[in-house]
Structure 1
Amino acid sequence: MSNNRTSGAASGAFPHAALPTHVAAVIAAIETDIIRGRILPRNRLIEDHLMEDYDAKRHVVRSALVELQRLGVVVKPPHLGAHLRRFDNESLSNLYYFRAVVHGAAVAAMHLPVAPDRMAAVEAAALSHAEAAASGDLIAIHRTNMAFHRLFYGLCDNPYIEESIRLHDWLSFPARAYAIADAQALAQACREHAAMVDALHACDRQQLDRLALEHMGRARAIYVEKFLVR
């Protein structure tokens, strides 16, 4: 198998970007199938089936699952097979409570006004996400959304807050994923990214704090409706 690796520019946003290309491709394929709803919470991820679905060797599939388990997207309880993480009402509430806390902490720590070069990078990330949304490329939408969050919340210049947000972006992916393919949720996300950029320009910390909190709501509501409403 080739040991070609993806670009260093991507590796800052995506911890698996430095993995061998074949492994990263299987991870992207699994992520896409989660977004499309082909893989649902607690669906077993059977190596033989994944090998067939993605035309991949066993060690490549196994490496992809290990990486997704490390990120918290996949769980593998003792004596049970790997499956996509599922949230109940309590765990989802706890997760989103903590995400709200760390996102709020990031906004509170941001230095306003933002330096022009960093402002330009955030604006470019918002534009990239909007272009991906228009293209309909689901994995590009997912990746550019994560990249925007990394740059936006990275304005706090606190590596502990940044790392916590990055980790919990991945932990929440099994809950957030279904909004990526939802046209209304995607349009709302693009509007909110633009509003975040405007609030940065205006140095409006109160608006930034409100947007950071509201930005999480639509994806959470879609997950609740799909899997938690009886």
Structure 2
Amino acid sequence: MSLLEQLEEEIVLGLRYPRERLVEDDLMRDFGAKRHVVRSALVELENRGLVERRPNVGAFVKAHTAKEVRDLYAVRELLETHCASLIQVPVSQDRVEELLEIQQQHDDAIAAEDLRAVVRANTAFHQALFALADNDVLVAAIRRHAQMAYPIRSVTVTSPEFLSRSRDEHWQMIRALQDGDTAGLAEVCRAHLLPSRDAYLRRLGPG
């Protein structure tokens, strides 16, 4: 796993929290990486919306305002529900089997309290699900905006309550696909976004 991927994973897991300063020398020491590798990773994380860099100050994990959170999740809802509605049903059994296999990995990771494996299986599940719409541009946009939400999702990603809800909603998505219910699938996708958004807004407080 590259330094970029490791830092991205640490952000979504909350190991690198919003507003935390990312010091080049510290990252070089912690990961045994050369300066140009660290700088390249920080530039790409900034491009992905996970990090902000301030002149003469340094790089920080992105901290979103309430408006930024609402705006981002409004776009994610539009993208993901539309993508779900585009999926042609019935879905072939081999594609359903792929989702079932990934979701079993997600279930197992939650049971084992392996949060890194949870995050990876969750990402794989959504990539496989939205790929069913057969629109690569839309799927790339969904992934891009999901990455931007990593610092927001870090608030809930380690919570057993939210992990259980996420797992249950994944199974609802699979059942909706099996039933050919794209409207129901889109609604579950919409509801699936709300816990991380709302938890982050509550942490920000009134305003």
Distance 1:108 1:34 in 2: 31
Pairing 1:178–2:161 present: no
Q: Which letter maps to 1:140?
A: A
Pairing 1:48–2:25 present: yes
Distance 2:115 2:4 in 1: 13
> 1:121 is matched with which residue: 80, 93, 98?
98
Deviation at 1:153, TM superposition (A): 1.1
Deviation at 1:40, TM superposition (A): 1.9
Structure 2 counterparts to residues 52-91 of structure 1, below 5 A: 52-91=29-68
CA RMSD of aligned residues (A): 1.8
Q: Which letter maps to 2:123?
A: M
Pairing 1:192–2:169 present: yes
Pairing 1:214–2:191 present: yes
Deviation at 1:57, TM superposition (A): 3.4
Q: Which moved more, 1:163-172 or 1:136-145?
A: 136-145
Q: Which letter maps to 1:52?
A: R
Say whether the 8 Å CA contact 1:29–1:54 is kept in structure 2. no
> Residue 75 of structure 1 aligns to a residue in which SS?
strand
Distance 2:68 2:173 in 1: 28
Normalised by the size of structure 2, how large is the TM-score? 0.91
Could you tell me which runs of 5 or more consecutive residues in structure 1 were left unpaired when the two chains were aligned.
1-20
Deviation at 1:72, TM superposition (A): 1.7
- TM-superposition CA deviations, 1:83-121 (whole Å, max 9, x none): 111111111110000000001110111101101111111
Q: Which moved more, 1:57-66 or 1:121-130?
A: 57-66
> Residue 203 of structure 1 aligns to a residue in which SS?
coil
Normalised by the size of structure 1, how large is the TM-score? 0.82
Deviation at 1:164, TM superposition (A): 0.7
> Residue 166 of structure 1 aligns to a residue in which SS?
helix
Deviation at 1:61, TM superposition (A): 2.5
Q: Which letter maps to 1:211?
A: V
> Residue 86 of structure 1 aligns to a residue in which SS?
coil
> 2:81 is matched with which residue: 96, 104, 118?
104
Distance 1:31 1:140 in 2: 14
- TM-superposition CA deviations, 1:63-85 (whole Å, max 9, x none): 33233223221122444411111
> How many percent identity over aligned positions?
33
Describe the shift of the 1:145–1:196 C-alpha distance in structure 2 as closer, same or farther (beyond 3 A): same
